[in-house]
Amino acid sequence: MGFSTTFTVNGVTRTIELDDPRVTLLDLLRERLHLTGTKKGCDRGQCGACTIIVDGRRINSCLALAISHDGADVMTIEGVAQGDRLHPVQKAFLAHDGLQCGFCTPGQIMSAIGLIAEGQAGDDPERVREGMSGNLCRCGAYQGITEAVLEAQKFLGVADQRKVA
Ligand code: FES
Ligand code: FES
């Protein structure tokens, strides 16, 4: 039996036919939509490599069934930059060497964007480390990642205040 699901991915509405209701959002993004920026690490909710933003919240896409997210608004790493203009979180990761091999980086960046949007980042490195603890980095780039999130949070915090003013 076939199923159809429709959702918005990086601002574009997509309708996809599925022949298996057990397809995860991660597999759908990578294999059906060829959005391979979202990485498959453990495929069981333990590494954070597959983090995306769904309806404004960060989730592990390997644990999310595509069919349960009909109508959702999905943002992946491919939708973060505006053309050639990097997102402040991407810029901060580059500035602070928040990566080595880069495998975990899309998930780290999506998680950082989610953490900042939740208002949970603050200016305390310990809080940032805790908020990012679902995203593992086998290269151990944690120092740079924490610094990048702190800097981006400062920048985006100021931008938000300007928007409110
Ligand atoms: S691939 Fe999803 S948490 Fe590891
Ligand atoms: S940069 Fe290599 S796993 Fe994080």
- For 39-77, the pLDDT digits (tens) are 999 999 999 999 999 999 999 999 999 999 999 999 999
Q: In what order do the strands lie in the sheet with 51-54?
A: 12-18, 3-9, 73-75, 51-54, 57-60
Per-residue pLDDT averaged across 2-9, rounded? 92
Contacts of 54 (CB under 8 A, 6+ apart): 25, 61, 64, 69, 72, 73, 74, 75
Q: What DSSP state is assigned to residue 40?
A: -
Which ligand is nearest the CA of 41, by number? 1
For the Cβ of 41 lying below 6 angstroms from any atom of ligand 1, the answer is yes
Which ligand is nearest the CA of 108, by number? 2
Mutational pocket test of ligand 1: of 29, 38, 50, the residue with most ligand atoms within 8 Å of the beta carbon: 50
pLDDT classification of 159: cutoffs 50, 70, 90:
low
For the Cβ of 136 lying below 6 angstroms from any atom of ligand 2, the answer is no
- pLDDT in the model for residue 161: 47
- pLDDT in the model for residue 17: 95
Atom of ligand 2 nearest to the CA of 140: 4
pLDDT digits (tens, 9 = 90+) for 107-139: 999 999 999 999 988 899 999 999 999 999 999
**How many angstroms separate the alpha carbon of residue 134 from the centre of ligand 2?**
14
- Tell which wins on pLDDT, 58 or 3: 58
- pLDDT in the model for residue 76: 98
For the Cβ of 46 lying below 6 angstroms from any atom of ligand 1, the answer is yes
**How many angstroms separate the alpha carbon of residue 160 from the centre of ligand 1?**
31
Environment class of residue 161 by beta-carbon count within 10 Å: exposed (0-12), middle (13-18) or buried (19+)? Answer: exposed
| 50-82 per-residue burial string, b: 16 or more CB within 10 A, e: under 16 | bbbbbeeebbbbbebebbebeebebbbbbbbee
Helices and strands, counts by H and E, the chain: 5, 5
pLDDT digits (tens, 9 = 90+) for 17-46: 999 999 999 999 999 999 999 999 999 999
- pLDDT in the model for residue 164: 41
Environment class of residue 107 by beta-carbon count within 10 Å: exposed (0-12), middle (13-18) or buried (19+)? Answer: buried
**How many angstroms separate the alpha carbon of residue 19 from the centre of ligand 2?**
34
Amino acid at 109: I
- pLDDT in the model for residue 160: 55
- pLDDT in the model for residue 122: 85
Q: How far is CA 147 from CA 93, 121, 126, 127, in A?
A: 8, 11, 11, 12
Asked which of 2-6, 12-16, 26-30, 159-163 is least confident by mean pLDDT, the reply is 159-163
**How many angstroms separate the alpha carbon of residue 132 from the centre of ligand 2?**
14
- pLDDT in the model for residue 69: 95
